[in-house]
Amino acid sequence: MASSASFFLLDERIQRFIWAERWEDLRDAQEAAIPLIVKGDRDVVIAAATAAGKTEAAMFPALTHLLASSPQGLIVYISPLKALINDQFIRLDRLCSDLEVPVWPWHGDISATSKTKFLKQRCGVLLITPESLEALLCNRGSSVKSLLERASFFIIDELHAFIGSERGKQLQSLMHRVDLGAPRATYWTLRNFG
């Protein structure tokens, strides 16, 4: 990692996690995305082949930014599939538990107890489907600002699954509602090519 400038932009705890996982280097998508995302001042689209490390390319710098903020902020990860949320929860929970950052999966199969805990804390990483985000906004419409006031990052995974579809229009509408109801956040989209 000595030749990687991007690696040294990450929080030291994330660096230790990468070393513990025995990564020899960062992937190309990660090297390119980390310097753009870590500051949290621009929108970024990450386009790379399947298994090219797009999730880490967005999450590592977003978590670095989150760890530096006080009070702790919120990363909202939007996925088209509950199964993908469940997979990402398993991947992220291990890293985030070391960072003392809660990870909250939110979809129809998640208990009301877990959702209530998130609503009390409103920080960490929220993994959610567009439909669940819409239900959350509808059920708590008057409190969108307080609900998402700590949100500094929105990561939209599998963007291509939304383009040109009714779900894509739904997601576009949701993001517009979020923009109107909460402070401006930065958006990353993860797209598979190949």
Q: Which residue has the higher pLDDT, 143 or 95?
A: 95
pTM of the model: 0.90
Question: Highest mean pLDDT: which of 7-11, 48-52, 165-169?
Answer: 7-11
Task: Taking residues 43-53, report their average pLDDT.
Answer: 87
Calculate the alpha carbon distances from 87 to 24, 79, 92, 184 in Å.
Answer: 24, 11, 9, 28
Q: Determine, yes or no, domain membership for 115.
A: yes
Q: Determine, yes or no, domain membership for 2.
A: no
Q: Quick one: which of 50, 124, 69 has its CA closest to 93?
A: 124
| No. of helices (H) and no. of strands (E), the chain | 8, 6
Question: What pLDDT, in 10s, does the model give residues 105-160?
Answer: 999 999 999 999 999 999 999 999 999 999 988 887 667 777 788 888 999 998 88
Q: Determine, yes or no, domain membership for 30.
A: yes
Print the domain residue range for 141: 7-192
Which stretches within 50-129 are classed as H helix?
Answer: 54-68, 82-99, 112-121
pLDDT of residue 194: 42
How many domains does the chain contain in total? 1
86: CATH = 3.40.50.300
Residue 153's contacts (CB-CB under 8 Å, 6 or more residues apart) are 40, 58, 62, 65, 66, 73, 74, 75, 76, 185, 186, 187, 188
Are 35 and 9 contacting, i.e. CB atoms less than 8 angstroms apart? yes
Q: Determine, yes or no, domain membership for 86.
A: yes
Diameter of the chain by CA atoms?
49
pLDDT of residue 115: 93
Handedness of CA 14, 158, 90, 175 (dihedral sign): positive
Q: Determine, yes or no, domain membership for 49.
A: yes
Q: Determine, yes or no, domain membership for 42.
A: yes
Is 149 strand, coil or helix? coil
Q: Which amino acid is at 183?
A: P
- Ramachandran angles phi, psi of 75, nearest 5°: -110, 125
HSE-up of 30 (CA within 13 Å, CB side)?
A: 22
Q: Determine, yes or no, domain membership for 1.
A: no
